[in-house]
Structures are given as structure tokens and as C-alpha cells.
Amino acid sequence: MALLLCAGIAATAAGRARAATPEPSALAFADGRGGVSLDGAWHVIIDPYDNGSLDYRSQPRPHGYFDDARPRDKSDLVEYDFARSPTLQVPGDWNTQRPDLLYYEGTIWYERRFDAALHEGNRAFVQFGAAAQRATVWLNGKRLGDHEGGFTPFAFEVTGIVRARDNSIVVKVDNTRRAEALPALNTDWWNYGGLTRGVRLIETPRTFIRAARVQLAREEPPSLARRVSSREGSGTLPGFPSSVDQQDASLVRGTVRLDGARAPVTVTIEIPDAHARHTVTTDESGQVRFAFVATLAPWSPESPRLYDVVVRAGDDRVTDRIGFRTIRTQGPNILLNGKPIFLRGISMHEEALGRGGRATTRAEAEALLGLAKELGCNFVRLAHYPHGEEMTRAADRLGLLVWSEIPVYWTIAWSNVTTLAAARAQLAEEIARDGNRASVVLWSVGNETPVSDARNRFLRTLVDDVRAADDTRLVTAALEHHAVDARTHLLDDPLGASLDVLGLNEYVGWYDGLPAKCDTLTWRSAYDKPIVVSEFGADAKAGQHGDALTRFSEEYQADVYRRQLAMLKKIPSLRGLSPWILVDFRSPRRPLPGVQDGWNRKGLVSNDGVKKEAFGVLRDAYRTWSPLAPPPLAPPPAAGR
């Protein structure tokens, strides 16, 4: 039963102040909108010298490949021709499409032509799921803009630029690694380049729904009822389900942001299967916050219930499939829908099983997550950058909780303002894209970053950004630790004070001693907060065998897993694991001939799908996993976190 809470709450001043980070440019609900998919074969020009945009003096060319020119007559000098140039598939990285491009880093120009039959009076945008690592886009010779960051979506408005027939779109993609960029120069994964996710021409009405976040408020019903009636004034919720079992009533909260509004607009949010329908009115600029109570079956790994949610505003209507759940911490516990949960997880990169290269399709996402389900996981750590939307939507459907991360990885330019701006922009784009994904419960602001004042300031800014953009999820980071003595390791990274959940990366038994070291090691934490061991593991070449002390053998890896699991179970505040890693992945840092050959071999499954002995060790452990009983729940706090 849906009860209406007619409180259209106008956007607050505080929210506007925080918009120091530019609003993400991508349109939400893109897939459900009219328009044209631009996926498929694109012509390409490999351009290691940036000849397409720079002249022999390395000065910007007034006329370059972006003109997509054709010789006007036999004497006209044009030294490129996309139409006769080879093609590459979009979406897809370029490195695994042609052997000569495997380790290519630099610029590649993409071009394709298309027709666009759009409705009179409508607006149009070109949207990219991702372009690694940066892109500049032209349509019909007009420069639309740039985007920095290889793992998040972006869009440009092309109303009035796009024409009905024979449009020329040219994209300069450059994956050159830069010290001030994110990721920076050094990573333990391959720097795939290209238009790695889908491209779409999107059509919208003049005024349209640019973004809508529809989630459950963080608190569960009992404290919600007390708080709502206390703060929002009893009587504002006449008939709050005192008679109805409060257990089922949930507070749905959210925001809608219109684009093109010139006056207040009526917005309706509807959840048909829950018989919930709520109407509010935006402010002049088309923004509104809303809250209403509905009876919803909670989303969880055991029952990943998704609801159709329909948002209408003026001529526009969008739908999304959304699960409703709450996630929060209480002392050392993580509570999903108010109940303690242990995150039985695995880490993974976004590489397609078998084929290699960036995973791009629904089937490739499901193949990877299917392996995680087979392991008995209820959680995956998507490392070290936002994976594609196919992945997080598949996690919603399959019932896997998600740790999502931006590539603030190892050592970056902590004091460089453009680096900080890039991190904040990637974070904002990631949260805007996946803000409605029930599966995503943890936003990670970094991985194995060295403690320093500049680093702490940098990461705390990101933590604040997360809290401002999304107060329904938890903030974490993969932290390092140090040895107090030969038998005691301590997690006391100062950033821990700002996080909800502490990620811990440790390689006892691989980089740090031999497997037996696990047997005598004790872990201590400086915080009364949940710990997720976000990485442990060992390399093993599938099919390579030896005794448990032979490096790179399956036996060694399996032994590390057995001893690690026994060691970690003793950590009182351990509330999750995501061992490194589900599948072997490409890394130029791993040359060992006949063993690694350019692959990090810490996978439990080889890149061509062969399960190693340790896969069974973890699967069996998760099957019977009951870590030391978590301490009894403390009474819920008055309000907030």
C-alpha cells in the first residue's frame, strides 16, 4: 500500500554549493531513449605523432582529420581518407582487435557516418559509455568538446548540429599514460585504449529528465517512523502505517533533475508493482527532492528483487529497473536491510573471459559474475576503475553486492589540482551512472595509496564528495598496513577515520613471506569498523603442479588460500573478503616466460577459463563460511550513520 508524502522539497542551497565539480554530462536512462546506436565498425587512423591535429611545428592544425575531408577534385591535396581506412569494432578496445595494436598507446582517430531521422523540435546528444583514456569529439566538423577519464560516460549536445543525412562523427581517442592523469603512469593492468563502451545518438523532448535518483533512505522503518514523526512533524504523515506493519513500510527518497525547464514542472514517480505513485513539483530550474513511503520487498543477494520505476515530467517519461535495500554500518558490522552480513567476495578486472580485452557485452559480464556466483559469492570488488553498466546491472539481476572504485591507484600526483579535479569528476560520473544500482553498496576512493598529508587531503576531499552525492551508501578504500612485529600486523591508516568500511590489501605468503607465515600472524585494527580484506592471493599457472612451496604451482596458491582463510577468520571485525583475483588478467608488469607471459596469474581461473585448485578451496570455504559469530547488535543509534 502506497501512502503519499506530499512534500516536494526544493533543492537546498547546500547541494548547489557542492556542484563545484562539474555536473556529469551523461544522460541517465540513455538506453531507454529514442535515437540511433552508433556501435559497429568505425574507420580508424592510427596516429602516433598526432598528425591529425598538429602540424610539423607541433602547432594545432586549423584543418585536420577532424574535418573528415574528401578531395574536392584531382588536384586537391588531402592526405587521409577515412572511407578507405581500416575499421575497428565499437565498443571494444583496439589492443585486442589487431595483433599490431596489442601494446599500442597513443592516438587513434575514429570516424563513422550516419543518418539521423529525429523528430521536429526535439533535442539530440551523442553519448559515449567510455573512451580510454581521453577523447575529443567533432560532429560535422564542429568541435563538441573533450572528456578525460577512460571508465565513465559522457555526452555532448548536438541539437542544431546533427542533420538528417550523412553526419560525420570523428573522435580522437588517446590512451597515452600521464603522471598527472588517473590512472597515472604505473598500473598492474594493461592500459587498453579505444571506444571501449557503446556510442549512441540520443533524442529527447525540449525539457527532459536528465537524472533521477530513486533509493531507500538509509534508516530502517522503526527508527524511520520515530525520526519522521519527530522531525517532519507528526501529522505531515497522517496515517503513517501505525496500523500497517511498519516492517514493510520503507521511505523512498530521491531527486529529479530536468534539463530545459523554464518554470516549475510536475514530476511523477511511480512504482507500479508496489502500487506507489507520488507527485511533486520542481523549482524553476527543474530540480526537486522527494520522499514517499511504499511497501517494497527488499533487494538482497538471496532475493534480488527489482521493480520497474517510471518517472514522468512534461512530455518525457523514463523507466529504470531498481532494487530497494538499505546498507549501513554499526560498529564492526555491516547491515544490509538492517541485518548483519558477511561479504563473501572476489576481486575482478573488466576483461572478457577467453577473448581477453575489455568486456563489453551483457553476456561477457554475466560470464564473469556467473563464475563469482559459482564460487558462492554474494559480493564482488570491481577493480580498479568503474566497470561498464552491463556489469553493475548484471550484479543487480544476479544478486551480487558491488564495491566500485575510481582509479586512484598506487602513487599519483597528490598535489596537482588537475589530478584532483579529474578524480572528483570521475567519482561524480560514476555515482551519477550507478546511483540507482541496488548492487552497488561501496564507493572506493583509492587503492594502495601511500600515506602522506597531501594524499590524506586528496582522499578526504573525495570522501566528502561521496557523502554529499550519495548518503545511502558506504565509503571505503583499499588500505595498506604495517608490521608492528614479526607476529603482529596493524591497520591504522589515518584515512580509516574518514571511511565507513576499511579495505585491507595484504599478500602474506606471496610478497610477504611464505604461506606458513599466516599461521602465526595476528591482525589488529586501530578502528572499531568493519574490515573487508580487499586483496590477498598468489600467482599460479593453470596446470602447473608441484609441492606447496613451489612458486607458481596450483598447490602453492591453494595452500596460501587455506592458510589465509584460517588466519583472517580470527580478525574480530572481519566482515568481508575479495581475494585477488577471479581470472588471470593482462599486465605488462608480468614477463616471466612460460608462466606469466604478460599475465598476472593470481586468478582462480585462467584467462581461458580453466579453474585452478584454489577455486575449489575458496568455494568450499564459502559454502560453510561462518566466521566467528559477530558480536550482538548494539541498540540502533538515535539517527544518522
Is 220 a binding residue for ligand GCU by CB under 6 A? The answer is no
Q: Please identify, using beta-carbon distances, which residue of 399 and 503 lies nearer to ligand GCU.
A: 503
Distance between CA atoms of 462 and 427, rounded to whole angstroms? 8
- Cα separation values, 213 from 210, 255, 310, 530, Å: 11, 5, 12, 27
Is 65 a binding residue for ligand GCU by CB under 6 A? The answer is no
Supply the minimum distance, in Å, between the C-beta of residue 551 and ligand GCU: 13
Supply the minimum distance, in Å, between the C-beta of residue 557 and ligand GCU: 12
Supply the minimum distance, in Å, between the C-beta of residue 459 and ligand GCU: 16
* Residue sitting closest to ligand GCU (CB): 188
Distance between CA atoms of 25 and 621, rounded to whole angstroms? 44
SS3 per-residue string spanning 134-178 = EEEEEECCEEEEEEECCCCCEEEECCCCCCCCCEEEEEEEECCCC
Q: Please identify, using beta-carbon distances, which residue of 395 and 581 lies nearer to ligand GCU.
A: 581
**Per-residue x/- mask for ligand GCU, residues 520 to 539, rule CB under 6 A?**
---------------x----
Supply the minimum distance, in Å, between the C-beta of residue 519 and ligand GCU: 22
SS3 assignment, position 50: coil
Q: Please identify, using beta-carbon distances, which residue of 322 and 501 lies nearer to ligand GCU.
A: 501
Q: Looking at 189-265, list the stretches that DSSP marks H as alpha helix, in order from N- to C-terminal side.
A: 221-231
Residues 345-384 that bind ligand GCU (CB under 6 A): 384
In 3D space, the residue among 505, 455, 514 whose CA is nearest the CA of residue 482 turns out to be 505
SS3 assignment, position 390: helix
Is 387 a binding residue for ligand GCU by CB under 6 A? The answer is no
Q: Please identify, using beta-carbon distances, which residue of 437 and 602 lies nearer to ligand GCU.
A: 602
**Per-residue x/- mask for ligand GCU, residues 550 to 589, rule CB under 6 A?**
------------------------------x---------
Is 506 a binding residue for ligand GCU by CB under 6 A? The answer is no
Q: Please identify, using beta-carbon distances, which residue of 340 and 588 lies nearer to ligand GCU.
A: 588
Show the beta-strand stretches assigned E in 272-382.
Answer: 276-281, 287-295, 307-313, 316-322, 327-330, 333-336, 339-340, 343-348, 379-382
Q: What angle do CA 507, 512, 513 make, to 5 degrees?
A: 125
Q: Of 93, 148, 448, 500, which one interacts with ligand GCU (CB under 6 A)?
A: 448
In 3D space, the residue among 245, 224, 335 whose CA is nearest the CA of residue 638 turns out to be 224
Q: Please identify, using beta-carbon distances, which residue of 168 and 600 lies nearer to ligand GCU.
A: 600
Q: Sign of torsion, CA 556 557 559 564?
A: positive
Is 204 a binding residue for ligand GCU by CB under 6 A? The answer is no
In 3D space, the residue among 206, 211, 33, 204 whose CA is nearest the CA of residue 124 turns out to be 204
Residues 586-625 that bind ligand GCU (CB under 6 A): 600, 602
Q: Please identify, using beta-carbon distances, which residue of 33 and 384 lies nearer to ligand GCU.
A: 384
Distance between CA atoms of 483 and 523, rounded to whole angstroms? 9
Is 405 a binding residue for ligand GCU by CB under 6 A? The answer is no
Q: Please identify, using beta-carbon distances, which residue of 403 and 580 lies nearer to ligand GCU.
A: 580
Supply the minimum distance, in Å, between the C-beta of residue 247 and ligand GCU: 41
- # residues contacting ligand GCU (CB under 6 A): 9
Tally of CB atoms within 10 A around 491: 23
Residue at 526: amino acid letter: A
Q: Can you give the C-alpha Rg of the chain in angstroms?
A: 25
Q: Of 39, 93, 188, 434, which one interacts with ligand GCU (CB under 6 A)?
A: 188
Binding site for ligand GCU (CB under 6 A): 188, 384, 447-448, 505, 535, 580, 600, 602
